Amino acid sequence: MEYEFELKFKLPADEVDPAEWVERLGEAGCDDALIGIGQPGRIALRFDREADSAKQALVSALEDVKKAIPGATLIEAGPDLVGLTDVAEMLGMTRQNMRKLMLTHAESFPAPVHEGSTTVWHLEPVLLWLRSRGDYRIEQRQIDVAHIAMQINLTKEAHRIELPVQRELRGLVI
């Protein structure tokens, strides 16, 4: 099965020509990715990877990138962190329709990760909520990719947790 996802990395401080990174990525097995190098010090890869599972697709892509660019630091795996516009575009609806759904069903709509001038959700809970309503056709592989991308992003940030603080806050924030 083919899985679509994106990986964004901070590049090592080496003064390497971006074309060399692209060449290395191709040699390492990332020939199934569109590569963006427009932002200095960053690289984004949009994959269409054939694999037996979403987990296998994303993990193998991470391994391939790390093989090609050992000092690269993962910024984000996606699709995971999304706004209403992102979800609406995925499902072929308007942002206004998505916002109306969120407001009309505020008690059951998934809680955002961040709320403010830009509100952001993890994609997986939103897709599961939409599918549970029965009104939207959402492919299982979309949910699987969103789930693994979220797990990768959460794992990436987990090293920042101070265990004494985690123990104290458990039950208050979860």
Measured over the CA atoms of residue 12, residue 17, residue 22 and residue 25, the dihedral's sign is: negative
Amino acid letter for position 23: E
Max Cα distance, the chain (Å): 52
Domain of residue 45, CATH code: 3.30.70.3400
Inside any domain, residue 33: yes
- Counting the structural domains of the chain, the total is 2
Q: Are 101 and 116 in the same domain?
A: yes
Bridge partners of 42, per DSSP, are: 10
Beta-carbon count within 10 A of 158 CB: 9
Question: Does any domain span residue 173?
Answer: no
Domain carrying residue 107: 81-157
For the chain, 174 residues long, the average pLDDT of each consecutive 10-residue run is 97 82 93 92 96 98 96 96 96 94 95 94 97 89 97 92 86 79
- The answer as to whether 167 is a domain residue is no
* Predicted TM-score (pTM) of this structure: 0.91
